[in-house]
Structure 1
Amino acid sequence: MSDQEFDPTTVLGKIMMVLHAFTIDDSTLSLAELARRTSIPKGTLHRVLSDMAAVRMLDRTGTGYRLGGTLFELGMRASVERSLLEVAIPFMEDLYVRTHETVHLGVLDGTDVVYLSKIGGHRQASAPSRIGGRMPVHCTAIGKVLLAHADSALREQVLSGPLPRYTPRTIILPGPLSTQLDRIAAEGVGYEYEESATGIVCVAAPVRESENVVAAISVTGPSYRFRPDTHAASVRAAAEGIGITLARRNRLLA
């Protein structure tokens, strides 16, 4: 569930509480589970769910409710993310053909990475990432790349806060993480070595639109056979291609 706070006394607040009750792992939630997660009284919640189902924000199933098609349609109209995806997908596909490993595109949201796209074949590594899912910035290659190019306030927030351990190799001390972020900013590429999940290694590079880093792209593979450093140039080239195409597209639209 989201850590965001919504006003439970307003209709909009209740709707947002329901929507954020769904996690990336949930396909369907029962009325009882939604009541538990939102703390909205069941009578009130039932009316809210009925109104949301009427406009297809939710769909009723035999066991409860799932997120509806209206949310997908609206999500695809989000101009920034849609434009980024339209430009990035061909470069991601080229990168997959070149590496035959899992390719990710992610953006920064608070202290998390949100994954906008993921391309992988039959050999793809069993990574914890999912489209629309989140991971903390400190333990993924994409996250560290984005954090390395973020403003100083966000960087200080991450470094001064707790750095949860996900594997024995997760960097949980601010000093080593800060040193790595400086190196990423200087070299234009970042790595993960089994920091978010055991058996997973990754290389990522920033996507720049003009001078601003708007996303990052990565290639992920299993540690027993994937050498991320050998693909750094390809990942960096894909990131640069996306950035150049974004800038050209925006100039034409302007």
Structure 2
Amino acid sequence: MAEIKLNRTIVNTFKILDTIANSSNPIGVSKISKISTLPKTTVFRITETLAALNLLRENKSQEFKLGNGFLKYVDQTKSQNDLVDVAKPFLDKFASKIKETINLGILYNQEVIYLTSVQGERFTLQVNLLPVAPLYCSSLGKIFLSTFSDKEFKDYISRANLKRNTVNTIVNADKLRNEINKVKEERLAYDREEVEYGLTCIAHPIEKGSNVIAAISVSGPTSRLKARGIDKIVQQLKKTAEEIDQAISKNTL
């Protein structure tokens, strides 16, 4: 594996943040410099930038503590962790019955982010399931595309790089629109070997009230899913989604 070249400014920024976070009281540039072993000029430049972004708060003595700007990240992380905590028992039960991989994902910045996956039986092919996935060719992504308005869909198409991964990948905007319309009607989305040959995924939305807040999918070798029975898998997928929806309604997510 190639060695990753770290961005020094980012590394230094987190050294400073860790130093401030570990201090029980507001802390000044000189002390931050001593603890983090960074030059004072570096500490001054970074702390001033973070303060301007509301990520640090500076008092009259020019000492720093963490700012309110971090709260939006804390709230989002807590919400995602709570969602995983609520959904995980149902995902585990689903995986134990179907014996295939079950995924939970959310929409973020025009991509799917996988929050968690429960592994089923081993794949008989080399599958490249990344922590993120594009919307247009993944089953989870198509669920989120089905929530887009016409304008949002057109904006997405204008910016997205509709790359053909296999002969099944839909890269035509009109065909993709037709596909998404079916997803809206059926509340089911399919990746029919659109990301990788031999791999099929089926997804269903997870809702809080009338809003789609996440989606779950089952992934596995196409031949094995057919052997297990697509209808049976879809039925269990819908049941699991309903159970998670009901559990979410009882929690303050």
TM-score by structure 2 length?
0.69
Q: SS state of the match for residue 225, structure 2?
A: coil
Q: SS state of the match for residue 196, structure 2?
A: coil
Q: Can you list the C-alpha shifts for 1:172-218, whole angstroms capped at 9, x where unaligned?
A: 00111100100111111111111112211011100011100000000
Bigger Cα Rg: 2
- Among all aligned residue pairs of Structure 1 and Structure 2, give the percentage whose two residues are the same amino acid: 26
Residue segments in structure 2 that go unaligned for 5+ positions in a row: 22-72
Check conservation: 1:111, 1:154, Cα contact below 8 A.
no
Distance 2:169 2:245 in 1: 30
Distance 1:225 1:122 in 2: 10
2:125 aligned with 1:110: no
Q: Which segment drifts farther, 205-214 or 194-203?
A: 194-203
Check conservation: 2:99, 2:121, Cα contact below 8 A.
no
Q: 1:105 to 1:49 in 2, by over 3 A?
A: closer
Shift of 1:51: 3.5
Q: 1:75 to 1:222 in 2, by over 3 A?
A: farther
RMSD: 2.9
2:136 aligned with 1:134: no
Check conservation: 1:102, 1:120, Cα contact below 8 A.
yes
Q: Which amino acid aligns with 2:154?
A: E
Check conservation: 1:203, 1:229, Cα contact below 8 A.
no
Q: Which segment drifts farther, 202-211 or 224-233?
A: 224-233
Instruction: Select the residue among 236, 246, 249 that pairs with 1:247.
Output: 249
Shift of 1:127: 3.4
Check conservation: 1:76, 1:82, Cα contact below 8 A.
no
Check conservation: 2:203, 2:218, Cα contact below 8 A.
yes
Shift of 1:149: 1.9
Check conservation: 2:112, 2:134, Cα contact below 8 A.
yes
Distance 2:11 2:220 in 1: 45
TM-score by structure 1 length?
0.68
Residue of structure 2 equivalent to 1:120? 119
Distance 1:207 1:49 in 2: 35
Q: SS state of the match for residue 92, structure 1?
A: helix
Runs of 4+ displaced beyond 6 Å: 74-77
Q: Which amino acid aligns with 1:220?
A: S
1:64-103 alignment runs, 5 A limit: 78-103=77-102
Residue of structure 2 equivalent to 1:229? 230
Q: Which amino acid aligns with 2:202?
A: V
Q: SS state of the match for residue 91, structure 1?
A: helix
Check conservation: 1:188, 1:236, Cα contact below 8 A.
no
Q: SS state of the match for residue 34, structure 1?
A: coil
Q: 1:75 to 1:167 in 2, by over 3 A?
A: farther
